[in-house]
Amino acid sequence: MKHIYIYLTVLSLLLTSCVTTYTRESQYPKMYDEKPVTLLVMPPINNTTNVEAKDLLYTSISQPLIEAGYYVVSPHLALELLKAESAYDAEMFIDQDATMFGHVFGADAVIFSVIDVWEKKGLGIETKIKYIIKSTVTNEILFERSCDLYLDFYNNSGSNSGFGALVNLTATAIKTAVTDHIVAARKCNKYIFTDIPRGKYNPIYMKDQKIQASAKDTKVTVK
């Protein structure tokens, strides 16, 4: 019996030593070096046929970043100026000099997002989005992460009975999708920005370097 405990302990130690552990500092060191305060959200680059996806993501990115402690230039106000400056198409700027956004908006960094998948699949929504935060001071990429997320509405029903499940299944199929898509956008943002180093207005600003972080590219199913 004693041997079994020893084997199990050694085995668990071996298994845990194989798992790579990350911290926020090891994943996003440049965020700590540059300490951006003000962020500007660029309109998302939409590589899908779902035209609503761009607006859904654009209107929902700022809240999680503000909650993380950043000052985010209001996307609703920035949009007009971006259009006036012919800067609405983020594709044109993702690989270009970003310093102009510092001069015009006072932004320390710019957020680009690329939507590669956004579609209803089965009884849920499948999304694949990449986010990049680029410095307007050094033009360096400070944060880069992608999220492959499936939002499962069927298993979210909470019903165990056959009839209940059938009712929920029908309801899910005919439900107006807008709120569901808002939820999908929010969940994507939540996963992406979970590990972002906290900003100036967060109580743990510059104290979160050693907090554990996940891999940069995530694939999750959420309910």
Partner 1 sequence: MKYIFKILVIALAISSCSNPRLYYWGSNGETTKYEELTYQNYDKQTTESICELVCLYEDMVSHPGGKRGVVPPGIYAEYGYLLFLPSTAEAFEKHATKRQRKLFANSDYSTYFPQKGEEMLKKEMELYPESKKFIEPLLNRLTGN
Contact footprint for partner 1 (CB under 8 A): 37-38, 52, 55-56, 59-60, 62-63, 66-67, 69-74, 76-78, 81, 104-106, 178-179, 182-183, 186, 201-203
Cβ nearer to partner 1, comparing 205 with 216: 205
Identify the CA nearest to 31 among candidates 218, 221, 216: 216
Q: Which segments of 19-169 are extended strands (E)?
A: 22-23, 38-41, 45-46, 71-73, 109-121, 124-135, 141-152
Task: Please state the closest distance from residue 100 (CB atom) to partner 1, in A.
Answer: 13
User: What is the smallest separation between the CB atom of 60 and partner 1, expressed in angstroms?
Assistant: 6
What 3-state DSSP class applies to 167?
Answer: helix
- Smallest gap from residue 63 Cβ to partner 1 (A): 6
Nearer to partner 1, 64 or 131 (CB): 64
Q: How far is the CB of 64 from partner 1 (least distance, A)?
A: 10
Nearer to partner 1, 78 or 111 (CB): 78
- Pick 67 or 144: Cβ nearer partner 1: 67
Q: Are 73 and 101 in contact (CB under 8 A)?
A: no
d(CA 155, CA 45): 31
Helix (H) or strand (E) holding 222: strand 217-222
